[in-house]
């Protein structure tokens, strides 16, 4: 798995010497079994604890890695890979877009499906509502 993660990061233009390479690697390993979204409150928190740094430092390193990867790599190839998901104003993907794209590339799918989580939350809400209705009777 480590080789697949490193390969995907290298293909996206993330430099292995960059501090964020290790952050991405840890984030992707963690994402296999845990939900990392929202990044600043879940994924980055785990990485910050692991590397004894702050969430802001992780966020800044990731943003810098995305910018440098985009500026250094073959832009035509990256545009072809990311397609219409790139914001026209910025001209490059957001950190979240790059992370989700890389996770999809590594695992063949995004590990934690947001729709499944939403359905689970709705089912929990329905059960709680039914319990409250029964209690109030």
Q: Which of 8, 2, 18, 3 is nearest to 99 (CA)?
A: 8
Peptide bond before 38: cis, by omega within 30 degrees of 0?
Answer: yes
Q: Measured between alpha carbons, how far is 129 from 14 in angstroms, rounded to an integer?
A: 47
Helix axes 55-72, 95-107, angle to 10 degrees: 80
**How many domains does the chain divide into?**
1
pTM here is: 0.73
Residue 8 lies in a domain: yes
Does the residue 123 lie in any domain?
A: no
**114: CB partners within 8 A, 6+ apart:** 37
Residue 127 domain-assigned? Answer: no
Encode the chain (137 residues) as per-residue pLDDT tens digits: 788 888 888 888 888 999 999 999 999 999 888 888 888 899 999 999 999 999 999 999 999 998 888 887 666 777 777 776 676 677 778 888 888 888 888 887 665 544 444 544 444 444 444 444 444 44
CB of 20 within 8 A of CB of 64?
yes
Residue 17 in any domain: the answer is yes
Closest CA relative to residue 106, chosen from 41, 16, 10, 15: 10
pLDDT of residue 70: 80
Domain membership of residue 23 (yes or no) is yes
Half-sphere exposure of 123 (CA within 13 A, CB side): 6
CATH number reported for the structural domain that contains residue 85 in this entry: 1.10.10.10
Domain extent at residue 35: 2-112
């Amino acid at each position: 798995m480590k080789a697949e993660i490193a390969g995907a990061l290298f293909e996206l233009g993330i430099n292995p010497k960059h501090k964020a390479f290790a952050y991405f690697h840890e984030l992707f390993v963690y994402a296999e079994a845990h939900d990392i979204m929202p990044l600043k409150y879940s994924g980055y928190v785990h990485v910050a604890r692991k590397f004894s740094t702050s969430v802001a430092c992780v966020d800044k390193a990731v943003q810098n890695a995305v910018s440098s990867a985009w500026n250094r790599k073959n832009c035509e190839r990256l545009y072809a890979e990311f397609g219409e998901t790139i914001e026209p104003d910025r001209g490059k993907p957001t950190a979240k877009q790059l992370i989700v794209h890389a996770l999809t590339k590594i695992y063949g799918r995004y590990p934690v499906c947001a729709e499944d989580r939403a359905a689970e939350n709705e089912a929990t809400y329905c059960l709680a509502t039914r319990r409250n209705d029964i209690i109030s009777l």
